[in-house]
């Protein structure tokens, strides 16, 4: 066991700081975090609003520890309590961080980018603009004029074209982030990768597999709770409940003769076994909890406000 004195090394050469990864939904924030860490801790999906919680990822290399905070996409839709919760979660990530990485999708700049930038300006935190998915940019020559135009909107520390998926220029981004970190003792043990529990990560894996399996409607009216996470005779036994809002959604999720929910379970179990490096026994149930996504009390009972209290 690491002693308190060992963990709280006061070496003045150490650097450590918090870095918020922000942007509108579906620009690649979680993909970037996973690429930086070299391991998947934040779920990804082509559908927007996949990330609903703050996810902390810790990278320690020698004397430098960077604590990245992946956030839900900031968006203008505030109709439901869940949307308001995600905006509040993302906005709170700007409090007390040392650096912001603002991700955008290629040369697309929308009202939501203006919405995010306004929050960044109010924070006064040094910000790097990461222009993601440049490998998919059809007109490469449009990039430089775009960057020149965007530079008029805000004094970014730097603007870096990247590909979070392939890793292109991600090392350049990391180097710039590290140059902005303060001198500080490390906040986490050297081998810690995230502040989230195994139970939370298991629930997120199930939610990712559901989102990837279904169409447009059900994923946004679905959440997952792990009711049991226990090691028995060397195997991890996980019982998880998938909550939806309507009976019809439950039938869609279960699928013909239970085929869809069975495949979701198989896919989720494989990811869990890779993440936990252990054999997993996974059991899934689907239950209807009407109106949960627009009910703050229901959201609290499902663990959505715990981190904001």
Supply the CATH number for residue 248's domain.
Answer: 3.30.300.20
pLDDT digits (tens, 9 = 90+) for 93-125: 678 899 999 999 999 999 989 988 998 998 999
Residue 22: pLDDT over 80: yes
Same domain, 152 and 123: yes
Integer Cα distance of 243 and 290 in angstroms: 9
Residue 183: pLDDT over 70: yes
Helices (H), 151-197: 170-179
Instruction: Give the pLDDT mean for 193-197.
Output: 88
Same domain, 68 and 98: yes
pLDDT at 45: 63
Is the dihedral angle over the CA atoms 88, 90, 93, 99 positive or is it negative? negative
| Boundaries of domain holding 70 | 4-179
The structural domain count of the chain equals 2
Same domain, 29 and 158: yes
pLDDT at 12: 59
Choose the final residue of a domain: 179, 213, 237.
Answer: 179
Q: Is 126 strand, coil or helix?
A: coil
CA distances from residue 203 to 224, 233, 277, 289 in whole angstroms, order as listed: 6, 22, 17, 17
**At 64, which CATH number?**
3.40.50.300
> Whole-model pTM?
0.75
Instruction: Give the pLDDT mean for 255-268.
Output: 95
Same domain, 174 and 204: no
Residue 172: pLDDT over 50: yes
Q: Does any domain span residue 23?
A: yes
Name which of 102-106, 177-181, 264-268, 305-309 the model is least confident about: 305-309
Instruction: Give the pLDDT mean for 39-55.
Output: 67
Same domain, 38 and 144: yes
Query: CA angle, corner 295, sides to 302 and 31, nearest 5?
Result: 55
Q: Does any domain span residue 67?
A: yes
Name which of 21-30, 40-49, 89-98, 245-254 the model is least confident about: 40-49
Residue 83: pLDDT over 70: no
Same domain, 75 and 211: no
Helices (H), the chain: 4-7, 29-37, 81-92, 111-123, 143-150, 170-179, 198-213, 247-254, 259-276, 296-301
Integer Cα distance of 280 and 196 in angstroms: 19
Q: Does any domain span residue 63?
A: yes
Q: Which of 51, 74, 58 has the alpha carbon at shortest distance from 18?
A: 58
More confident residue, 12 or 271: 271
Residue 138: pLDDT over 90: no
Choose the final residue of a domain: 179, 209, 242.
Answer: 179
Instruction: Give the pLDDT mean for 276-303.
Output: 80
Q: Is 177 strand, coil or helix?
A: helix
Same domain, 174 and 241: no
Same domain, 33 and 155: yes
Torsions phi, psi of 69, nearest 5? Answer: -120, 105
pLDDT bracket for residue 264 (50, 70, 90):
very high
Same domain, 138 and 259: no
User: What percentage of the chain exceeds 70 in pLDDT?
Assistant: 78
Q: Does any domain span residue 298?
A: yes
Q: Helices 198-213 and 259-276 sit at what angle, rounded to 10 degrees?
A: 140
pLDDT at 8: 46
Same domain, 209 and 170: no
Instruction: Give the pLDDT mean for 53-76.
Output: 83
Neighbouring CB atoms inside 10 A of 113's CB total 19
Same domain, 13 and 161: yes
Same domain, 210 and 83: no
More confident residue, 275 or 283: 283
Length, in residues, of the chain? 309
Choose the final residue of a domain: 152, 179, 206.
Answer: 179
């Amino acid at each position: 066991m690491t002693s308190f004195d060992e963990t709280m090394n006061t070496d003045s050469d150490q650097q450590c700081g918090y870095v918020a990864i922000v942007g509108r939904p579906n620009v690649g924030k979680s993909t970037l975090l996973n690429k930086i860490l070299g391991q998947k801790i934040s779920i990804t999906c082509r559908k927007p609003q996949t990330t609903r919680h703050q996810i902390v990822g810790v990278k320690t290399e020698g004397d430098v520890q960077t604590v990245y905070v992946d956030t839900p996409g900031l968006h203008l839709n505030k109709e439901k309590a869940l949307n308001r919760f995600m905006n509040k979660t993302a906005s709170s990530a700007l409090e007390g961080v040392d650096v912001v990485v603002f991700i955008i999708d290629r040369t697309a700049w929308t009202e939501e980018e203006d919405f995010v930038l306004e929050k960044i300006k109010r924070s006064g935190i040094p910000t790097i603009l990461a222009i993601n998915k440049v490998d998919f940019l059809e007109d490469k020559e449009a990039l430089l004029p775009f960057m020149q135009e965007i530079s008029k909107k805000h004094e970014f520390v730097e603007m870096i074209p990247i590909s979070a998926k392939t890793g292109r220029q991600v090392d350049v981004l990391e180097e710039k982030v590290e140059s902005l970190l303060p001198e500080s003792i490390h906040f986490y043990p050297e081998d810690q990768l995230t502040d989230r529990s195994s139970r939370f990560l298991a629930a997120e894996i199930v939610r990712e597999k559901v989102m990837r399996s279904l169409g447009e409607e059900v994923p946004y009216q679905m959440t997952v709770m792990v009711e049991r996470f226990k090691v028995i005779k060397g195997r991890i036994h996980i019982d998880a409940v998938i909550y939806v809002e309507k009976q019809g959604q439950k039938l869609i999720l279960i699928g013909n003769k239970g085929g869809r929910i069975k495949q979701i379970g198989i896919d989720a179990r494989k990811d869990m076994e890779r993440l936990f490096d252990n054999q997993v026994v996974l059991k899934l149930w689907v239950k209807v909890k009407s109106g949960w996504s627009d009910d703050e009390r229901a959201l609290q009972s499902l663990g959505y406000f715990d981190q904001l209290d």
